[in-house]
Amino acid sequence: MENVSSHKHFILNGFNELGALRPVLFIPFSIMFVVSLSANSLLMYVVISQRSLHSPMYILIAGMACVDLSLPLFFVPNMLLSFLFDWRGISLSGCLVQMHFIHFVGAFQSTLLVWMALDRYFAICTPLYYHECMALPRFLKFVIPILIRNFFLNTLMVSLAGKLSFCVGNVMNHCFCEHMALVQLACGSTAINNLVGLLTAFFIPVADFVFIAASYVVIFSSVLNSSRSGVKAFHTCITHIMVITVTLTIALVAFLSYRIRNGLPPASRVFFSTMYLLFPSCFNPIIYGIRTTEIRQHIVKTLTSGGFVQTVPHS
């Protein structure tokens, strides 16, 4: 049997179709990167520094800001250097590490929305037991199983990708190490990789979305059956629905573009895959900062007063 060597070094060739215009992409992506870092840092600072915001809902929003702050750091700096200096190379080990961090941390976006849905469910449907339900020891029962699920599925997916032999080529039509973009370069059967990728997508974002949708159906029913009870808490649900809708739409386009036959140009496929990770990081803090009254008031106060003087109410 002929011995075929497996590539251990890859070229990230995303947006190569733009030719000489490719360096121009540095401008919009660097702007989005700066917006993501600054907006999420400000949101985290406001929630951490203000004692009035130390409630479960706002802590979860700060957790979302932490994820949105971390995720672009795993791929955007390398992507910007690629646009400016044409640095496109990455080793197989570096690719797998990047892939694991991107998919594992990215899974937290939908996971945090699940926890936010739980928070709203307890606040609206069981207000008398809200603090008891959201107490850390009890809430960890919802947190730990989901974290184990995310870690196991993403680690399995990346581990299986690392065992493949890559003899089709070493040019990956992407700006970072996306799972299916790497698997497509493998020789031999990749059926198990496709299956695990589908299962990961089903048991993380799809399962999370089904749980969130079911919880909001219960929440809406509870609010409609009451008079004024829960109306303020219900207002924050609208913010979560906006975030879920935008994130899920971009994620579905990015996911399906690699798994069904379509006429989507390669550059558009790379764009949607990149926006799936980067756009929510810019979108989420702005939406939460504007739509959540208490956070908006503290952000305005922080920006207008220099940001480092905390107002402590007199007893």
Average pLDDT over residues 137-164: 90
Average pLDDT over residues 104-114: 87
Sequence-distant (≥ 6) Cβ neighbours of residue 271 within 8 angstroms: 15
Instruction: Please state, in angstroms and rounded to a whole number, the distance separating the CA atoms of residues 57 and 72.
Output: 24
pLDDT tens digit sequence for 40-90: 999 999 999 988 888 888 999 999 999 999 999 999 999 999 999 988 899
Position 309 scores a pLDDT of 46
> What token pair was written down for 37?
């870092």
If you average pLDDT over every residue of the chain, what do you get?
84
- What is the secondary structure of 126-192 as a DSSP string? SGGGHHHHTSHHHHHHHHHHHHHHHHHHHHHHHHHHHTS---S-SEESSSS--HHHHHTT--S--HH
Structural domain boundaries of the chain? 9-305
Position 234 scores a pLDDT of 61
Q: How wide is the angle at C-alpha 289 spanned by C-alphas 285 and 292, nearest 5°?
A: 125
Position 120 scores a pLDDT of 85
**Confidence tier at 238 by pLDDT (50, 70, 90):** confident
**Confidence tier at 311 by pLDDT (50, 70, 90):** very low
Q: Which CATH number is associated with domain 9-305?
A: 1.20.1070.10
Please determine, for residue 313, whether its predicted confidence score (pLDDT) is greater than 70.
no
One-letter identity of residue 60: L
Position 97 scores a pLDDT of 94
Q: Which of 113, 124, 121 is nearest to 61 (CA)?
A: 113
**Confidence tier at 308 by pLDDT (50, 70, 90):** very low
Please determine, for residue 125, whether its predicted confidence score (pLDDT) is greater than 90.
no
pLDDT tens digit sequence for 244-281: 777 777 777 777 776 666 667 778 888 888 888 888 89
Instruction: Please state, in angstroms and rounded to a whole number, the distance separating the CA atoms of residues 233 and 236.
Output: 6
Please determine, for residue 242, whether its predicted confidence score (pLDDT) is greater than 80.
no
- Is pLDDT larger for residue 260 or for residue 92? 92
Please determine, for residue 240, whether its predicted confidence score (pLDDT) is greater than 80.
no
Please determine, for residue 213, whether its predicted confidence score (pLDDT) is greater than 60.
yes
pLDDT exceeding 90 applies to what percent of the chain?
30
Position 263 scores a pLDDT of 67
